[in-house]
Structure 1
Amino acid sequence: MALVRNGRGALMVAVLAVVAAGCTLTTDEPQGPMPTPPAELTKFYTQTIQWGGCRGFGAQDDRFAPNAECARINVPIDYAAPDGATAQIAVSRIKATGKRIGSLLMNPGGPGESGLTMSALGNKTPLAEHFDRVGFDPRGVGSSTPAIVCETAQEQDAERAEPPKDNTPHGIAEAEDENREYAQRCTERTGKEFLAHVGTREVVRDLDVMRAALGDAKLSYLGYSYGTKIGSAYAEKFPDHVRALVLDGAIDSSQDPVQESLRQAEGFQKVFDAYAADCVSKGECPLGTDRAQAVQRFRELVNPLWDKPVSTTDPRGLNYGDALTGVRQALYSNDMWPVLTLGLSELRDGRGDTLLQLADLYDGRRDDGTYSNTTDAFNAIRCVDDPRISDREITAKQDAEYRKAAPFLDDGRGTGAAPLDQCTVWPVPNTSDPHRISVTGLPKTVVVSTTDDPATPYQAGVELAAQLGASLVTYQGNRHTIALSGGSSCVDRAVIDYLVDLKEPAPGLTCAPNGR
């Protein structure tokens, strides 16, 4: 069972809904002395950013706030060879409207999600007054260049259209052959040298270059989901360069990929159960009238897709894999539960349009049939961030435990075996390993964790806060990430007060939906 991407769902909707009004920058608050960069990297740290319009920055022209400006920041592909080839990090900015504290850099997660339009996050709050809000695409992602590219749009459509594979010897061999073919395409189209340098290890170095190029002596950062891994790794590498970190939807970097996937399975099952209870309580639920039977009713809806897709207005139709992807996408936020009910009701009636649209949203497929590079970037970054799991006994046990942890995702075809993950045939080695974060000299930071978060379960936030010595803000809800999404003014107040005034949240602060 593969890991599910982090950093998807309500945050994306919230960011796209924000439109900022342009104002003029006024006086700045004084900053301390700029840290001295390594001599061999001085040209990157002291570069002048050439800001301009955002047209042409990817396929997102119509999603930028009207007063956003964009640029690219040069970084070395290999920090051990700074005179070699360079990459360009795409950034967007909306200037502070009042007394400026500095820049607030933001990342939505993934790994592989574009963060450019995040510069509009926090509109009409003190963040807009006091910070230049800066969104960025990490190296290889979105509008940054070079881009991680493994498959064409036609190849991605074809891959999604393939019938599902069971865990028979033939199905396992076929899946592992496809993994090798995919890794080969990534090598040919992206280049082995760049693939070796797309991990979090390099992203935190890029983040420090961005901090300096933006003119900030200290970093203020807001990261969601995988963005919390970037933030915590930055804290570990550059603790003296940190002003403020808010990490929402935390990843615990001490977990190995197997532990992380099983925690995700438990998280998604918990949220599915909550969705089912809500659906049943409202009547006319496609999962029936008994919440105890919801998993069985769900499997009765999706199992027939294994052999035969259902029709959609799109000629592709809805197959088994896309149906489950669409369901997972909707479980990222309880705001999307009504859409999930619609999708399952359609499926009950022999149609699949809504679930196909949800799957397209998850996979980054645009209306014109092209794709963002989110999936390719996710795979490439994960395979250099995580250790290889090449023991078939471990893989088989993981598959069995995943099915137990998330029965709504269990196709009932477990065989006691499973294919090896695609990272076992990745062309470059991993550059990070699971470990507890140990850091001294770090100022107070903030971790936000949601009690029923499907993708980054609550306990990971508890553990990350303990490792960083951070304040923990608990949100009681069913969604993935919450800060500045409009879902809790309690969380928003704590986050904004901390970022602006460095005011620590009250010990044990717990927030609920609807502003409480």
Structure 2
Amino acid sequence: MTCVLAACSSPSSAPTDTSPPPTTAESVASSAPTTRAPLDRYYEQNLEWGPCAPFATSADSTAAFRIEGVECARLRVPLDYAEPGGEEITLGLLRHRAGNPDARIGSLVLNPGGPGASGMVAAAGIGVQARKGALAQRFDLVGFDPRGVGASRPQVECLTDAQRDADRADDGETDGSPRGVAEQEAEARDFIAGCVRHTEHGERMLANLGTRDVVKDMDVLRSALGDEKLSYVGYSYGTRIGYTYAEAFPSRVRAMVLDGAVDPEQDALESTLAQVAGFGVAFGEFVDWCVQRQDCALGSDPAGATGAYQDLVRPLIDNPIEVGDGRRLSYEDATTGTIQALYAEQFWEKLNTGLAEVRQGSGKTLMELADRYNQRDENGHYASTQDAFTAINCVDHPKITDKDAILAAQREMAKSAPFLDDGRPDGAALDACAFWPVPSTSEPGLPRVDGVPSPLVVSTTNDPATPYEAGVNLARAMDGALVTFEGTQHTVFLQGNECVDGAGTAYLVDGTLPAEGTRCAP
């Protein structure tokens, strides 16, 4: 069984708090020189805000950075916090200034998750959606691209555009034979070699990409923005950044909204199992919607829908569909496109169209969905998201090398999401993370956050990528409030739902937590 890991779930870590005390710009300026710590040159830096166009690295960021009213800057941070006097790297920042400066509370830092997604692009879009609301009036909305991601320098780079096209077209992961497993593991080692070769600073950069270091960067950002304490919104993997920051810097948290929580107690394999089960549920919801239509590509019988789906996509392993420009819709691309569509109900119509096209010998729409997931633009250029996703996950998670456990997990996935079962014998190929050249920097475990202000956790009942119970458990572990959204999508805050947005806004503005048991409907 092949599986696309569609959202990351990362374990907790507890970095040592080596940075200066919480600061405002004024308190930094008044500190005596004799008390300076090695990181002060970073905490005291002045950000130079200007046009965002030079920061664009992809089609999405080019469009986002044209939005009126945004400004961008670079934040300097050490490559290795163990050597703060050594080499520097930079993070890209984007800001919408508060609409009402006289009532400004401070900065609201945003991260959309991934790992590998651009916080700058997310902040640009959220700022437009929230422009007339209280958050945009009372806060500067600030997005950052984490180290190695997007506009940050250096970027993680592993595969060229041509190599990623070729990788997507190759369905070798369906071959569970000893030869197939050996070829997959050789490809994993080649991928790592590309990461080391193409990423500036090589293994040293890869060793310092993880959440352990991202949260230290975020504390430098907090100080450079002039905020004594951090106000933060994190989605999906961004929830992990949030609770890891709270664990590392408990006295510097003002407020946190954590939407679509990853489970801090799960290792990489457990996380994948939970996510696959989530997409299995989402596929069932899609089927229930589809079979009520006259044009459902999977027929009218819910009991036969999974088999109908498999009948459409499994033949692509041996007979991919030509889609033009020398490209072919592979089995991997078909399942990736399906998973992309299961993130939210708004894509279900397109998924049904794409499956109907496959029946007619066309792969156009499913390829478009797969390109969207992989962030490939119309010119054939990929954003660095997928390379960064793998690299960050590999340093965040302990290695999984138990092949018996991998085979057992594949059997479990086939039960929980049979639509993803390729029908071929399983093979326990180790992935790139099993061969990663630097050690992981985190271990699974609940965050230790005694004394941290209660966060607001938002969890969606049928979230396909981050299961609902993970949010319930995180709220309990952090003594936070839980808002339940009854829907089928991945994350919801600041996406137009008045109930969820109202609860989150009241909390971020004045600290008011919603009543216990708050539930919101679409």
TM-score clears 0.5: yes
Report deviation, 1:355.
Answer: 0.5
Residue aligning to 2:18: none
CA distance in 2 between partners of 1:2 and 1:428 (Å) = 25
**What does the per-residue CA deviation read over 1:74-112, in whole Å, with 9 as the maximum and x for residues that have no partner?**
000111100111110100001001110000000111000
CA distance in 2 between partners of 1:505 and 1:271 (Å) = 28
Residue aligning to 2:157: 149
Report deviation, 1:317.
Answer: 2.2
Report deviation, 1:256.
Answer: 1.1
CA distance in 2 between partners of 1:324 and 1:239 (Å) = 41
Report deviation, 1:3.
Answer: 6.0
From 177, 191, 209, give the equivalent of 1:168: 177
**What does the per-residue CA deviation read over 1:339-384, in whole Å, with 9 as the maximum and x for residues that have no partner?**
1111111111110101001111111111111110001000100000
Q: Which residue identity lines up with residue 98 of structure 2 in the other structure?
A: A
From 382, 385, 394, give the equivalent of 1:371: 382
CA distance in 2 between partners of 1:80 and 1:310 (Å) = 51
Aligned pairs for 1:427-446 within 5 A: 427-446=437-456
Q: Which residue identity lines up with residue 200 of structure 1 in the other structure?
A: T
Report deviation, 1:115.
Answer: 1.3
Residue aligning to 1:5: 6
Asked whether 1:116 is paired with 2:124, we answer: no
**What does the per-residue CA deviation read over 1:120-159, in whole Å, with 9 as the maximum and x for residues that have no partner?**
3122211110000001100000000011011111111111
Residue aligning to 1:54: 52
Asked whether 1:63 is paired with 2:51, we answer: no
Residue aligning to 2:252: 241
Query: CA distance change for structure 1 residues 32 and 144 in 2, over 3 Å: closer, same or farther?
Result: closer
Asked whether 1:274 is paired with 2:285, we answer: yes
CA distance in 2 between partners of 1:474 and 1:196 (Å) = 37
Residue aligning to 1:454: 464
Q: Which residue identity lines up with residue 344 of structure 1 in the other structure?
A: L
The answer (yes or no) to whether the contact 2:457–2:482 under 8 Å persists in 1 is: yes
Aligned pairs for 1:22-33 within 5 A: none
Report deviation, 1:4.
Answer: 1.6
Name structure 1 gaps, 5 residues minimum.
Answer: 9-30
Aligned pairs for 1:375-394 within 5 A: 375-394=386-405
Report deviation, 1:2.
Answer: 5.1
TM-score, normalised via structure 1 length? 0.92
Residue aligning to 2:96: 94
CA distance in 2 between partners of 1:503 and 1:146 (Å) = 40
Residue aligning to 1:403: 414
Aligned pairs for 1:338-353 within 5 A: 338-353=349-364
Report deviation, 1:421.
Answer: 2.0
Q: Which residue identity lines up with residue 189 of structure 2 in the other structure?
A: R
Aligned pairs for 1:298-337 within 5 A: 298-337=309-348
CA distance in 1 between partners of 2:110 and 2:36 (Å) = 25
Q: Which residue identity lines up with residue 107 of structure 1 in the other structure?
A: N
Report deviation, 1:5.
Answer: 3.4
Query: CA distance change for structure 1 residues 437 and 38 in 2, over 3 Å: closer, same or farther?
Result: farther
Task: Give runs of ≥4 in structure 1 deviating > 6 Å.
Answer: 35-38
Residue aligning to 2:236: 225
CA distance in 1 between partners of 2:36 and 2:451 (Å) = 20
Q: Which residue identity lines up with residue 49 of structure 1 in the other structure?
A: L
Percent identity of paired positions between Structure 1 and Structure 2? 48
Asked whether 1:78 is paired with 2:70, we answer: no
Structure having greater relative contact order (Cα 8 Å, sep ≥ 6): 2
Q: Which residue identity lines up with residue 500 of structure 1 in the other structure?
A: V
Aligned pairs for 1:191-202 within 5 A: 191-202=202-213
The answer (yes or no) to whether the contact 1:314–1:353 under 8 Å persists in 2 is: no
Residue aligning to 1:362: 373
CA distance in 2 between partners of 1:117 and 1:175 (Å) = 34
Name structure 2 gaps, 5 residues minimum.
Answer: 10-23
The answer (yes or no) to whether the contact 1:118–1:134 under 8 Å persists in 2 is: no
The answer (yes or no) to whether the contact 2:482–2:516 under 8 Å persists in 1 is: yes
The answer (yes or no) to whether the contact 1:365–1:371 under 8 Å persists in 2 is: yes
**What does the per-residue CA deviation read over 1:386-417, in whole Å, with 9 as the maximum and x for residues that have no partner?**
010111111111111111111000011134x4
The answer (yes or no) to whether the contact 1:73–1:89 under 8 Å persists in 2 is: yes
Q: Which residue identity lines up with residue 80 of structure 1 in the other structure?
A: A
Asked whether 1:465 is paired with 2:463, we answer: no
CA distance in 2 between partners of 1:3 and 1:287 (Å) = 21
Q: Which deviates the most, 305-314 or 477-486?
A: 305-314
Q: Which deviates the most, 357-366 or 160-169?
A: 160-169
**What does the per-residue CA deviation read over 1:172-215, in whole Å, with 9 as the maximum and x for residues that have no partner?**
11100100111111111110100000000000000000000000
Query: CA distance change for structure 1 residues 38 and 329 in 2, over 3 Å: closer, same or farther?
Result: farther
The answer (yes or no) to whether the contact 1:94–1:133 under 8 Å persists in 2 is: yes
Query: CA distance change for structure 1 residues 362 and 38 in 2, over 3 Å: closer, same or farther?
Result: farther
TM-score, normalised via structure 2 length? 0.91
